[in-house]
Amino acid sequence: MEITGSLKAKLPIEGGVSKAGKQWSKLVFVLQIKDVKFPKEVALETLNGEVIQMVSDTSLGTLLKCQIDVSSREYNGKYFTSVSCWRVETVREEEEIKDHKGVQQMAQMHNQQYQRATNVDEAGEGDGLPF
């Protein structure tokens, strides 16, 4: 699955040593999802060292696209859900279409460019060749 949103918060990195003696670290960060009717915040966690480094170096407010896995597990009759991020990349604002209004604006812009191009062709010399 994929989720895109702006980086809202970064919690401190947690870490330790497993029973097998292997070092581990975990980062929890929050994305604010704006392309829905009501903006939502989603807490993502990662154990991936590359993702931890990238998110740690990224400033708040940056638009991120994350590849995620969602899982739930039962413990004592209660269910706990986690959203794990295994890949992250930054996204430029102009690459992201947020709603139908944005699509309509892009279509209108393309129509205006098309009109300008056809007006230039009509105003040209008889055979329509550019040279």
118: left (phi over 0), alpha (psi -120 to 50) or beta: alpha
The string of pLDDT tens digits covering residues 10-19 is 999 999 999 9
Which is the CATH superfamily of the domain at 2-91? Nucleic acid-binding proteins (2.40.50.140)
DSSP 3-state assignment of 124? coil
| CB-based burial label for 67 (10 Å; 0-12, 13-18, 19+) | middle
pLDDT score, position 21? 93
Residue type present at position 28: V
Which residues partner with 2 through β-bridges? 67
When pLDDT is cut at 50, 70 and 90, the band that residue 123 belongs to is low
61: left (phi over 0), alpha (psi -120 to 50) or beta: left
DSSP class of residue 59 equals P
Domain layout of the chain by residue ranges = 2-91, 97-124
Percent helix, strand, coil in the chain (nearest 5)? Answer: 25, 45, 30
The string of pLDDT tens digits covering residues 60-105 is 999 999 999 999 999 999 999 999 999 999 988 655 544 444 555 5
Mean pLDDT (the chain) is 82
When pLDDT is cut at 50, 70 and 90, the band that residue 42 belongs to is very high
pLDDT score, position 100? 41
pLDDT score, position 36? 80
Closest CA to 96 of 88, 87, 86, 106: 106
pLDDT score, position 101? 46
Cα separation, 73 vs 71, whole angstroms? 7
pLDDT score, position 97? 45
